[in-house]
Amino acid sequence: MINLYSAHIASLSIHRVGNKSKNEPILLSEEVYQTDDEITPLLKEFFLKPFREKEENYFQFAHDTDLEFHEIFSIASEVFADPSTIHQASKKITQHLYDQSMHPHIKSGEVYIAFFEGLQIDNEKVNGIGIFKSELKQDFLQFSETQNQLEANLQQGVNLNKLDKGCLIFNVKKEEGYKVLSVDSNRYDARYWLESFLGVDPCEDDNFKTKKYLKFCQDFAKEVVLPAEDKKQEVLFMNRAVNHFAKNDSFEESAFMNDVIDNPDLIPEFNNYKNEKAPKYSIQDLTSFPIANTAVTAARKKIKNVINLDTNIQIKLDFINAESADRFVEKGWDEEKQMYYYLVYFNKEEKS
């Protein structure tokens, strides 16, 4: 878990990069940017708000040979050892970003590199490095007054409500490549930011394992449970799966299967599906791990609990109290109409 509200921008450098393949220039500022009490809180919100709103999927720096040869990892290590070097380091980071800006779709933009104090991660306050890029400009009107006349001038600038790209490097777990968070609002060049520039791999932590296993379960429900049974059973299977994760601190696959798979015929199907699909989800040898509650909460929000019928009718099942679907919803076949039906029992209609 992270808490960014108490974070403080100790230093900020601003540069500009163009598209190197188009021979657009790079501009490296000579001095640290001098912030003030008016702009600092606006920039802090601009930089950090996307990370508060995004699911915490951590990355770590990775290199085929050794981390000491990783450009950003090496620069970050130098800065954490001596924060006074942050401005010179920001030039190296920006130059590295410029060198990766070779695809014709990559847009020019401003690069902001900040040294943060007071970032909180897993209840520990640490320093961090933020690397942010603004690319898309928006039109806005600037007004000026001359005598008794108001003039409107069209200008372009950065929208402080939307950060295009950014990452936070936390000064923790250095031996594993630090913990890194990333945001990227513009998906046309995803490899450029995460792979070419940052050079990171997903952290295979508890959050990663929980998220991947639940995604595996969701696809199993869709590809196996739904064809074998029906939409109702698909929804109920995922409800039991998510509830199992929610009520346990640790995951044990045998206990999970006993609790979640109520149809014995699906047990060999589940095992076969895992043997075949496990590499896709990076869960080949995953049979036990601590459960990350944040990943469970995020998964619950994404799972659909609606049965869409071809008669333009929807049946929404309560994902929290799904046992009601077992007790009060029945599926059948009407011989006269040659159609399936759902029979729903209730005592009274709830007032909205």
User: b/e string for 195-210 if b means 16 or more Cβ within 10 A?
Assistant: ebbbbbebbebbbbbb
Low-confidence ranges of the chain (pLDDT < 70): 188, 190, 318-323, 325, 352
Here the tokens at position 206 are 């508890």
- Both 196 and 216 in one domain: the answer is no
- Both 108 and 242 in one domain: the answer is no
Q: Is 49 contained in some domain?
A: yes
Q: Dihedral (C-alpha) 25, 26, 30, 35: value to the nearest 10 degrees?
A: 110
Here the tokens at position 304 are 């659909």
- Report the pLDDT value the prediction gives residue 146, as an integer from 0 to 100: 83
Residue numbers of the domain that contains 220 = 207-344
Domain boundary among 156, 172, 203: 203
- Report the pLDDT value the prediction gives residue 321, as an integer from 0 to 100: 62
Round to whole Å and give the CA distance between 120 and 127: 9
- Both 39 and 176 in one domain: the answer is yes
- Both 134 and 254 in one domain: the answer is no
- Report the pLDDT value the prediction gives residue 82, as an integer from 0 to 100: 97
Residue 150 pairs in a beta bridge with: 145
Domain boundary among 145, 174, 203: 203
- Both 147 and 56 in one domain: the answer is yes
- Both 214 and 299 in one domain: the answer is yes
Q: Is 350 contained in some domain?
A: no
- Both 83 and 163 in one domain: the answer is yes
Q: How many domains does the chain have?
A: 2
- Both 249 and 337 in one domain: the answer is yes
pTM above 0.85, yes or no: no
- Both 101 and 46 in one domain: the answer is yes
What is the CB neighbour count within 10 angstroms for residue 113? 27
Domain boundary among 162, 187, 203: 203
- Report the pLDDT value the prediction gives residue 319, as an integer from 0 to 100: 57
- Report the pLDDT value the prediction gives residue 323, as an integer from 0 to 100: 67
Residues 103-143: tens digit of each pLDDT? 888 999 999 999 999 999 988 999 999 999 999 889 889 99
